[in-house]
Amino acid sequence: MGELILFHNNRWLVPDNPEIGFIVGDGTGIDITPVAIKVLDAAVRTAYAGKRTIAWTEILAGERAVQQGKELLPPESLDEIKRLRLVLKGPLETPVGGGHRSLNVTLRQQLDLFACVRPVRYFPGVPNPMKKPENVDVIIFRENTEDVYAGIEWPHHSAQSQKLREFLKRELNVHVRDDAGIGIKPMSSTGTKRLVKAAIQYALKHRRASVTLVHKGNIMKYTEGAFKDWGYQVAKEEFGEQVIFESDLPPGRPWPANRIILKDRIADSMFQQILLRPEEYDVIATPNLNGDYLSDAVAAQVGGIGMAPGANINYETGLAVFEATHGTAPKHAGQDKVNPGSLILSGVMMLELLGWKEAAELVLKALTTTIQQKTVTYDLARQMEGAKEVKCSEFGVRVIENMG
């Protein structure tokens, strides 16, 4: 039996045997989730020799919930996540074109997991398209609850969009074509400030040099532009001397020790910069849609989504879901074939949040060694010369062996 993780004064209080939830996930979730759990358990065992353990509790969602006669996302599962606070989650399926809404989005919204945190760095040996992939080392904080992802939209032929078009014409003298679908892009000071605050706190805690606000404020002034303004505002209000604005730095001056630089970039320019001069970026804070594109693009720079971890976190309530950033890859499901790296690395993020640094470092080191030994799953093997292709579960075993 494990003990509950508590959350007090914006801090997680972690016992030595925390009870942590896991969602197996659909499709390849049945392949990668057990492997990730085995690897994390082995790291904790090796690092702490039995003094610390994780008590895993399954939380039902997706296909596994339906198999047990429940809804896709049973209310008791949401309650269980709130009780346990931290969850490791495999991918969940969303049928295309109709059917139910994305369970992943529902989870993020129901639990108000406002920050999607995606660290992207290079693991030596992973095939990639960059000349100097080792220069990529960023943490992306993507706002998770607002923007065009808020789900406020209507089809072009609906009564609602007709009503809105009429309203816009009558009250605001704005003409929208009769055959246009309409979506609304809300962005609030509350949503922005809590995200940027979390990004700055992360940068300070992990001694990163800068936080960059990525926005499209030159075009969408009162949403994306306001995101930038609120970002600077919260830095000034809450962090004072700890943060210096790039615009206040005399040209050519080095980074002032113990202060982080806050800067902003327009999204299209950022896509170029992160490709050409990735070393200039550390922590990135950005609205939902920009963050969605940017995190996959940057992940591709270091070898793709098979190795990209992620977590959805509410830093005010202490709820966090650590998940593989790829989907269920249904054509590979149940074949013990796909790369469990993304979920393992999401587990590393979880260990770091627990404060179990030694175990986290052990997994990172062992994973790097395994890749350098070229014993990898099919996705990496097909791009690596001289690689030995291993199954998903075998990859996990190799990682555990490499913990020494």
Catalytic residue numbers?
149, 216, 268, 292
Q: Indicate whether 63 belongs to the interface with ligand NAP (CB under 6 A).
A: no
Contacts for 324 with CB less than 8 Å, ≥ 6 apart: 25, 32, 89, 90, 91, 309, 310, 342, 343, 346
Give yes or no for residue 288 binding ligand NAP (CB under 6 A). no
Q: Phi and psi (nearest 5°) for 335? A: -100, 5
Which residues make Cβ contacts (< 8 Å) with residue 250, sequence separation at least 6?
Answer: none
Using DSSP's 3-state secondary structure scheme, residue 19 falls into strand
SS3 227: helix
Give the binding range for ligand NAP (CB under 6 A) out of 92-100, 109-117, 151-159, 206-214.
92-100
Query: Cα-flanking dihedrals φ and ψ of residue 187, to 5°?
Result: -140, 125
- Piece of 12-20, 41-49, 63-71, 89-97 that binds ligand NAP (CB under 6 A): 89-97
User: Per CB under 6 A, which region of 38-46, 111-119, 134-142, 335-343 contacts ligand NAP?
Assistant: 335-343
Q: With both helix axes pointing from N to C terminus, report the angle between 288-301 and 267-276 in degrees, rounded to the nearest 10.
A: 20
By the rule CB under 6 A, 62 interacts with ligand NAP:
no
| 327 is a contact residue toward ligand NAP (CB under 6 A) | yes
Angle between helix 357-372 and helix 392-401 axes, rounded to 10 deg? 120
Least distance (Å) from ligand NAP to the CB of residue 147? 17
* Piece of the chain touching ligand NAP by CB under 6 A; list 3-11, 225-233, 326-334, 394-402: 326-334
**Nearer Cβ to ligand NAP (80/379):** 379
CB of 3 to ligand NAP, least distance (A): 29
DSSP string, 87-156: EEE------SSSSSPPHHHHHHHHTT--EEEEEEE--TT---S-SSGGG-EEEEEEE-SSGGGG--EE-T
Q: Which listed residue (18, 119, 291, 306) binds ligand NAP by CB under 6 A?
A: 306
11 exposure class (CB count in 10 Å sphere: 0-12, 13-18, 19+): exposed
Q: In what order do the strands lie in the sheet with 86-89?
A: 55-58, 19-23, 86-89, 319-324, 309-314, 115-121, 137-143, 283-286, 210-215, 260-266, 243-245
Judged by CB under 6 A, the chain residues 13 through 32 that form the site for ligand NAP are 28, 32
Q: How many of the chain's residues bind ligand NAP (CB under 6 A)?
A: 19
**Nearest distance, CB of residue 93 and ligand NAP, angstroms:** 4
Among 47, 92, 344, 348, binds ligand NAP (CB under 6 A): 92
N-to-C CA span, the chain: 28
- Candidate list 326, 359, 371, 399; residue touching ligand NAP; CB under 6 A: 326
Contact status: 194 vs ligand NAP (CB under 6 A):
no
- Give the torsion sign (CA, 236, 240, 241, 242): negative
Shortest Cβ 326–ligand NAP spacing (Å): 3
CA gap 280, 75 in Å, rounded = 44
Cβ–Cβ < 8 Å for 58, 45: no
Instruction: Report, in Å, the least distance between residue 217 CB and ligand NAP.
Output: 28
Residue whose CB is less far from ligand NAP, 223 or 328? 328
Which residues on adjacent β-strands are paired with residue 311?
A: 117, 322
- Residue 337-366 contact track with ligand NAP, rule CB under 6 A, x = bound: -xx--x------------------------
User: Min. distance of Cβ 86 from ligand NAP in angstroms?
Assistant: 17
Among 18, 91, 125, 303, which residue sits at the site for ligand NAP (rule: CB under 6 A)?
A: 91
Q: How far apart are CA 374 and CA 155, in angstroms?
A: 49
* Of residues 101 and 156, the one with the C-beta less far from ligand NAP: 101
Residue 93 interacts with ligand NAP (CB under 6 A): yes or no: yes
Q: Candidates 44, 329, 351, 387: give the one binding ligand NAP (CB under 6 A).
A: 329
Our finding on whether 118 is near ligand NAP (CB under 6 A) is no
As beta bridge partners, residue 138 has 120
Nearer to ligand NAP, 43 or 338 (CB): 338
* Residues in contact with ligand NAP by the rule CB under 6 A: 28, 32, 91-94, 104, 306, 323, 326-331, 338-339, 342, 379
